[in-house]
Amino acid sequence: MSRSTITVLIADDQEVAREGYRRILETQANLTVIGTATNGLDAVHLAQSQCPDVAILDIRMPQLNGIEAARRIRAICPQVGVVLLSFYDHPSYVRNFLKEGAAGKAFLLKQTIGRIDELVRAIKAVADGQMMLDPTIVDDLMHDAPLASLADLTTQEMRVLELMAKGYANAGIAEALVVQERTIENYVSNIFAKLHLKNKGQQARVQAVLLFLEATGRLRRSDELPQDDE
């Protein structure tokens, strides 16, 4: 880690989970819990006043769910890394979470977090702007394109895919590359075809982004994280 201390916000409506995370993380070197919240709206307000390095959010909370809370928190403090925790691995949750960009985001299943060091490494990963997904989620999202490769993409298609990974919509990509939006739509269609993605729309977009991040070393699965040498 380049920073000496990572500040963390925890939001979960279950007291046992919330306080459990807080007490364990407070024992970790270089991590400081700056506050806890019992619902998504309070998490947003706390982030607005404290602007932590990382927000740990339960996906199902009163007043505001974790995905919407993450969206609002990132709008206030764009550099905040987000670790979203859930008992559910429904693909629509992951697509909604990643649709505005994948950098600095982790989606972990509560039932597969076997040791606290996995959560700590997720916190450090998103604080560094990396993306991390539970391996079950990666397998589900990549199911329709298990052998896809980026080798056949042109330089411009790779640039379009990189901007997709950063969260740009087609209109934003067109503006960044100074071309017509229709041109970008054609590029995106070509990318999906070359990557053999059967699905269209948001699901194909997430799958393409995951392939790009995996190929460029920016995607980590929670079962592939290296152990700290410290």
Q: What is the pTM of this model?
A: 0.75
Nearest to 165 by CA among 108, 206, 124: 206
pLDDT per residue as tens digits for the range 45-54: 999 999 999 9
Tell me the CATH number for domain 6-141. 3.40.50.2300
Centre a 10 Å sphere on the Cβ of residue 140 and count the other Cβ atoms it contains.
Answer: 15
- DSSP letters, 83-102, are EEEES---HHHHHHHHTT--
Residue among 82, 162, 91 nearest 127 (CA):
82
In tens, the pLDDT along 130-177 reads: 888 887 777 666 655 545 678 889 999 999 998 888 778 899 899 999
Order the strands of the 54-58 sheet from edge to edge: 31-37, 6-11, 54-58, 81-86, 105-109, 131-133, 219-221
Q: What local confidence, expressed as pLDDT, does residue 181 receive?
A: 94
* Residue 54 main-chain phi, psi, to 5 deg: -140, 140
Res. 1 pLDDT band, cuts 50 70 90: very low
